[in-house]
Amino acid sequence: MSKKVLVIGESREGSLRNVTFEAIAAANIISDGGEVVGVLCGAGDMEAMGQEMVYHGATRVITLANEELKTYTSDGFSQAIFQVIEDESPEGIVMGHTAIGKDLTPKLASKLESGLISDATEVVAEGDKIVFTRPIYSGKAFEKKEITDGVVFATIRPNNIPALERNEELAGEVSARDVDIQNIRTIIKDIIRKSSEGVDLSEAKVIVAGGRGVKSSEGFEPLEQLADVLGGTVGASRGACDAGYCDYSLQIGQTGKVVTPDLYIACGISGAIQHLAGMSNSKVIVAINKDPEANIFNVADYGIVGDLFDVVPKLVEEIKQM
């Protein structure tokens, strides 16, 4: 049965995040030929970003521009989006399982008194049912879930559900809507970015991650070179972060970021269960470790037993010559 599905888009520094397009693809599966309505809060060229959402499969897009929505606050965004939900009465809502998605969606779901399927890695239509797959027990197993009553509300894990192909021939209205926002309890005074470079870890296609085996912050340099030649970004284990070799914003794992790149290269990482929780669903895993018994080899598709300081520079040279 066709449904109206709302997609909450996300932008950063004036550009849509890729997970927005993946959420539109998921919404198209849920809607089963019904309407896919994009909603976008924030700053930047809202009209152009709304148009991009249309080119990726949204039927129409509502943009919400307001002084209070220039930077994310839980209060501001939830009030604004809730007003659109009240207008549109969608039967489904989808958003990326990002830091903002994780904060915003439970708040909206509780206001709607609806359930929420979080961190879905797959969305499949099985007859009249929409079946979501999501990880449990820190990624050690997967469960299948469906919502049988009320709004089908879900967040999707970045890099798992392929976006639809961009098509400039798709037409759809992009309209701006006023919103009434009151009593914001959080005031963002300034945003200090730890690193302005590199790709967002949760959306990266290639990650070269370093562990305690890199031995120092300088030890990350060959990993950065490998990430550069592969067009990827650098991540880390908590071991490396705890040792002060890199910033905690790079931490991957149970208490860090969950990533699903096409290629994950683990260098000097032992493969503790808490690290695997954040990366074991990567499409191809390569492990470089001098201990042949390291647990990381149990999840690796390709393993290189050796010293990372010998192996990584050789890989960089080989790739440069390709």
Interface pick for ligand FAD out of 59, 105, 237, 260 (rule CB under 6 A): 237
Q: Which of 174, 222, 5 is nearest to 92 (CA)?
A: 5
Q: How many whole angstroms separate alpha carbon 30 and alpha carbon 27?
A: 5
Give the nearest distance from C-beta 308 to ligand FAD in angstroms.
4
Find how far residue 184's CA is from the centre of its chain. Answer: 26
Residue 313 Cβ vs ligand FAD, minimum distance, rounded to whole Å: 12
Q: Scan residues 285-304 and list those touching ligand FAD (CB under 6 A).
A: 288-291, 294
Q: Judged by CB under 6 A, does residue 222 bind ligand FAD?
A: no
**One residue of 167, 175, 216, 255 binding ligand FAD per CB under 6 A:** 255
The residue (of 50 and 213) whose beta carbon lies closer to ligand FAD is: 213
**Nearest partner of 117 among 139, 90, 93, 141, judged by Cα:** 93
Binding mask 122-141 for ligand FAD (x = CB under 6 A): --------------------
Q: Is 224 exposed, middle or buried (0-12, 13-18, 19+ CB in 10 A)?
A: middle
* Residue 275 counted as an annotated binding residue: yes
| x-or-dash string of contact with ligand FAD, 256-275, rule CB under 6 A | x-----------xxx-x-xx
Q: Which among 206, 214, 266 has a CA at the least distance from the CA of 243?
A: 214
* Nearest Cα residue to 155 out of 231, 98, 213, 240: 98
DSSP-assigned letters across all residues of 216-238: SSGGGHHHHHHHHHHT-EEEE-H
C-alpha to C-alpha distance for 239 and 258, rounded to whole angstroms: 16
Q: Is 114 annotated as a binding residue?
A: no
- Closest distance of CB 254 from ligand FAD, Å: 4
CB of 200 to ligand FAD, least distance (A): 17
Candidate segments 41-49, 154-162, 189-197, 238-246, binder of ligand FAD by CB under 6 A: 238-246
Which string of x and - marks every residue 191-220 that binds ligand FAD (by CB under 6 A)? Answer: --------------------xxx-------
Contact assessment for residue 103 and residue 118, using Cβ atoms and an 8 Å cutoff = no
Q: Three-class SS of residue 131?
A: strand
Tokens linked to 40: 């976008």
- Tell whether 225 is in a known binding site: no
Q: Quick one: which H or E segment has residue 83? A: helix 74-88
- Choice from 11, 63, 159, 251 touching ligand FAD (CB under 6 A): 251
Q: Is 34 flagged in the annotation as binding?
A: no
Query: Is 121 among the residues that bind ligand FAD (CB under 6 A)?
Result: no
270 is in an annotated binding site: yes
| Count of other CB atoms within 10 angstroms of residue 18 | 19
d(CA 188, CA 203): 25
Q: Do the annotations mark residue 212 as ligand-binding?
A: yes
Q: Which residue number, 90 or 235, has a Cβ lying nearer to ligand FAD?
A: 235
Output the smallest distance, CB 212 to ligand FAD, in A. Answer: 3
The answer to whether 62 and 173 are in contact (CB under 8 A) is no
> Least distance in Å: CB of 41 to ligand FAD?
30
Tell me: is residue 97 an annotated ligand-binding position: no
Which residues sit in the known binding site for FAD? 212, 237-238, 251-255, 268-275, 289
Residues that bind ligand FAD (CB under 6 A): 211-213, 237-240, 251, 253-256, 268-270, 272, 274-275, 278, 288-291, 294, 307-309
